[in-house]
Structure 1
Amino acid sequence: MARQNCRNLQGPKPGGPRQAPAGGQINSMDLRQLRYFTALAEELNFTRAAARLAVATPALSRQIRRLEDELGVLLVERGRTGAILTVAGQALLPEARAALASAERAVAAARRAAGQTRAAFNVGYLPGFFDHILPGAVAEFRTRNPTLDALLFDLSAAEQMAGLRAGRLDLGLMAIAGEFEAGGLEKKVLGACPFEAALPRRHPAAGGDPLPLAQLAGEPLVGIAEEAIPGIETFTREICRWSGFTPALAQVEARGQTVLDLVGQGKGFALAPATWRALSHPEVVFCRLEPTPMADLCALWRAGDPGPLRRAFLALLGAR
């Protein structure tokens, strides 16, 4: 699959080695660069990421370039319809998220030690499902609670459940949440997300919209991992059964971008949330399905938690 690089580079392939700092040391990488990179990796679009960060697009591009120069690798390519993470970028993303989360915890610990105690409200969310309502709700929540640290953590469903049970998270936002009953958690359904067929661009059925799912019977399916969306395997089997066939699972992946990469390579089709259209993969076409499968969007919290802040936050989500 042909891709267009961010810059004209000679020699190394995208994601491959560039001129690393002398001695392999990292001299000036900072949290701002990691925050900018994480926003771009989640939005996969420079304009949207810049708007999310409230900075100019050229400023975002400069920080990404400086981070790449610091690390000595290319992290992001510019595709025809947006940004694409290289292999190096995909490897950096979870570590960047962990570093940012650790920094947030360090700030909170320092404030506690100095007697500047601020209450914290920690929200985990599954990327790609709540992007249309979460930023506005968080901004309003912070305005109404100026002495509160409202922190967001981009986590898989499995990581959210572990955080809720351990008391590190006050609220988790995910899809389906099919295994929550076993974990001492309570759930509220906030809405629903339609699932669609993600097909290789040159697939014969790519022009069908809506597309009968039965038309894809017998073709290999690129599945979404349970660790990303608990209950997704059962959900997938059921919607295929309704259409009269058993899915032929080719491969299972946790990250949406990886699932779409495999689809774009012709490894099979995927049953994916419609919100993944925002990932803008140049070799993937999304088609609505007939009938349309719908998956619950859920909020989870520890059973028995009275949670006045949780109720206030959920009310803001429900208003959007």
Structure 2
Amino acid sequence: MDLRRLPYFVAVAEERSVGKAAERLRMAQPPLSLQIRKLESEIGTALFRRGSRGMDLTEAGQALLSRARAALALAAEGAESARAVAAGRRGRLSVGYMFVLANAVLPRLVPELRRSLPGADLEFVELSASTREARLLDRSVTVALCMPAIRHPEIQAAQIGTQPLMLALPARSPLVRLTAVPVNRLHGRPLIALPRPGEESASSAVAALLRRHQVEMPIVSRVETVHSAMSLVLAGEGLAILPACAALGAPRGIIFKPFLDATDTIEIAICWRRDVDSPLIRNFRKCAERVVARL
């Protein structure tokens, strides 16, 4: 059956007149009558009979009408769905995020995404230094909120903000009495560093800060996440230099202090596969940029 004839059939059934249906469809009456006859020929039975009030449906016509309406509605829905996906308003988006950004970004980002992309199927996945790259490459995550950006030939990164570096120390440390800590006061003190050996150095900004001030801090532990770093700081194992936003998830007993003589920052970026050109990612980026700008 030629499905293009279904709108003609529905119009005649609803108007109960070939003439009125032709006016509604903005076409001449003879071609419309021809299309109805061809449809009846394809199906093999009459769909209309002439009654006192115009064109009446036969039982076969009644059986076809409800299904024809459903088919046309489904086709319209499919077209609208395709337009929504093409415009980035609909689709599946798996959002990876690093723990350091969770408390600062997610409470604002999730409502923004729900409001801006109501048709999107959203999933949120926590990432670590050792999983973020792999989850993007195997496509189990569509886009990732990272700190810092991932450097990989198959991954695209866009900076959307920065966070200042601060010193995380236990409340019992004598440095807590200072409003801001001079970097040279860290010389010789143990450092809890991020990430683990073998990973891209998220601590490169920290290393650059210490190197510029000619300060050496022996690394006593390397961890993947800021909450692990803060736990070791709380245990008295050492100090950590972390993004300011990490303070939002700090346990009681951890104090964050700015540096007196340094304004170093670390980038916040969104990352995705280079071979994925999705308007949904572009819309996600706009939402993330608005949220991070308010941090």
Question: Normalised by the shorter chain, which TM-score bucket?
Answer: 0.5 to 0.7
Partners of 1:228 and 1:254 within 8 A in 2: no
- Structure 2 residue aligned with 1:18: none
| Partner Cα distance (1:187, 1:318) in 2 | 13
- Structure 2 residue aligned with 1:120: 92
Give secondary structure in 2 for the equivalent of 1:131: helix
Query: Are 1:311 and 2:282 matched, yes or no?
Result: yes
> How far apart are 1:167 and its partner, in Å?
1.5
Quick one: which of 223, 244, 247 aligns to 1:277? 247
- Structure 2 residue aligned with 1:143: 115
Query: Are 1:295 and 2:272 matched, yes or no?
Result: no
TM (normalized to structure 2)? 0.62
Give secondary structure in 1 for the equivalent of 2:188: coil
- Structure 2 residue aligned with 1:132: 104
Quick one: which of 207, 210, 214 aligns to 2:184? 214
- Structure 2 residue aligned with 1:174: 146
Deviation track 1:93-137 (CA, whole Å, cap 9, x = no partner) reads: xxxxxxxxxxxxxxxxxxxxxxxxx83111100123253333333
> How far apart are 1:226 and its partner, in Å?
4.2
Deviates more, 1:145-154 or 1:135-144: 135-144
Q: CA 1:136/1:216 → structure 2, altered by over 3 Å: closer, same or farther?
A: closer
Give secondary structure in 1 for the equivalent of 2:220: strand
Superposition pairs of residues 234-249 of structure 1, within 5 angstroms: 234-249=204-219
Partners of 1:209 and 1:287 within 8 A in 2: yes
Identity of aligned residues (%): 23
- Structure 1 residue aligned with 2:48: none
Partners of 2:129 and 2:225 within 8 A in 1: no
| Partner Cα distance (1:228, 1:264) in 2 | 26
Q: CA 1:144/1:205 → structure 2, altered by over 3 Å: closer, same or farther?
A: closer
- Structure 2 residue aligned with 1:88: none
Deviation track 1:235-262 (CA, whole Å, cap 9, x = no partner) reads: 2221111111222111112232322222
Aligned length: 201
| Partner Cα distance (1:174, 1:141) in 2 | 17
Return the structure number with greater helix share.
2
| Partner Cα distance (2:178, 2:129) in 1 | 32
> How far apart are 1:192 and its partner, in Å?
0.2
| Partner Cα distance (1:194, 1:145) in 2 | 30
Partners of 2:183 and 2:215 within 8 A in 1: no
Q: CA 1:229/1:200 → structure 2, altered by over 3 Å: closer, same or farther?
A: farther
Query: Are 1:156 and 2:128 matched, yes or no?
Result: yes
Deviation track 1:66-110 (CA, whole Å, cap 9, x = no partner) reads: xxxxxxxxxxxxxxxxxxxxxxxxxxxxxxxxxxxxxxxxxxxxx
Superposition pairs of residues 30-109 of structure 1, within 5 angstroms: none
- Structure 1 stretches lacking a partner, 5+ long: 1-117
> How far apart are 1:230 and its partner, in Å?
3.6
Deviates more, 1:257-266 or 1:209-218: 257-266
Structure whose CA Rg is larger: 2
The amino acid that maps onto 1:162 is A
Q: CA 1:181/1:246 → structure 2, altered by over 3 Å: closer, same or farther?
A: same
| Partner Cα distance (2:198, 2:104) in 1 | 19
> How far apart are 1:265 and its partner, in Å?
2.2
Q: CA 1:278/1:137 → structure 2, altered by over 3 Å: closer, same or farther?
A: closer
Higher RCO by CA contacts (8 Å cutoff, separation 6 or greater)? 2
The amino acid that maps onto 1:302 is R
Query: Are 1:252 and 2:222 matched, yes or no?
Result: yes
- Structure 1 residue aligned with 2:12: none
Give secondary structure in 1 for the equivalent of 2:141: coil
Q: CA 1:210/1:254 → structure 2, altered by over 3 Å: closer, same or farther?
A: same
Give secondary structure in 2 for the equivalent of 1:244: coil
TM (normalized to structure 1)? 0.58
Partners of 1:221 and 1:269 within 8 A in 2: yes
Deviates more, 1:298-307 or 1:133-142: 133-142
| Partner Cα distance (2:207, 2:115) in 1 | 43
| Partner Cα distance (1:130, 1:311) in 2 | 21
- Structure 2 stretches lacking a partner, 5+ long: 1-89
The amino acid that maps onto 2:113 is F
